[in-house]
Amino acid sequence: MDNVKAIVLRAAGINCDLETEQALRLAGAEAERIHINRLMAEPALLDGVQILVFPGGFSYGDDVAAGKILANQVVHHLRDILHRFVEQGKLVLGICNGFQVLIKTGLVPGLRSDAAALATDYPATLTDNDCGRFEDRWIYLQPGTERCVFLEPNRRIFLPIAHGEGKIVARDPLTLARLRDEGYVAFRYVDADGCRGAFPVNPNGSDDDIAALTDPTGRVLGMMPHPERFVRLTQHPHWTRLKEREGFGDGMTIFNNAVKYVREHF
């Protein structure tokens, strides 16, 4: 497929939609920002699209809970359509607040894959950071699975985070073991040498240092770090000290791999 098409879903409070749209375009996709109200009125907009992204921000001000209102809109108006979207082999990415939305819709980790499970089965959730404050810093991520099409299994990447409710908590020890052993953990927080550790290596206290989760298909990814905020080397916090100061940042791997997958499978 030559023309890869993507929708970046926006709503009140979302503030990373433009950056996400630009990252997708840099990766070679035809990206368009669409408001949730328009998509609910015209769900057929998804028919010609292969990638759907829930970007970061504070949808509806996180007024009830982070991502909860947008998740409710998705569940009550787009549940079956979104389930079919994934069944068709298409890709869904949720970043930060978008990850919170995917968690609250049940799309990730998606231990049950039927449409009725959306928003009814919560094997994991996202809650307040252990430090009790909003964390805005750069972190390293180590891939935790070979299943997810968005990542490169052997490539450690460096990305920024910006969240107050980023702690991933599994429902119980058995669920956590299943997430770990069955390849649902897409990324873990590590240090520059790939070693896991306490704060600030793990910036929020997530169980098993989890930073991102995928679903059984590997085509749905929810992640707390922001890949759209590091698509060019000049966005690196120490870019003036880099040997190479031009080129693409680590965040582009997420978007490049998504576009590559679509071109190879559609």
Q: List active site positions.
A: 96, 226, 228
Beta carbons within 10 angstroms of residue 63's beta carbon: 12
Structural contact between residues 226 and 162, judged by C-beta atoms closer than 8 angstroms: yes
Q: Which two tokens stand for residue 231?
A: 């698509």
- C-alpha span between 173 and 243 (Å, rounded): 44
Show Cβ contacts of residue 172 under 8 Å, excluding neighbours closer than 6 positions: none
The C-alpha atoms of residue 17 and residue 7 are separated, in whole angstroms, by 10
* Residue that the structure tokens 């930060």 belong to: 96
d(CA 211, CA 95): 11
CB atoms within 10 A of CB 9: 26
How far does the chain reach from its first CA to its final CA, in angstroms?
Answer: 6
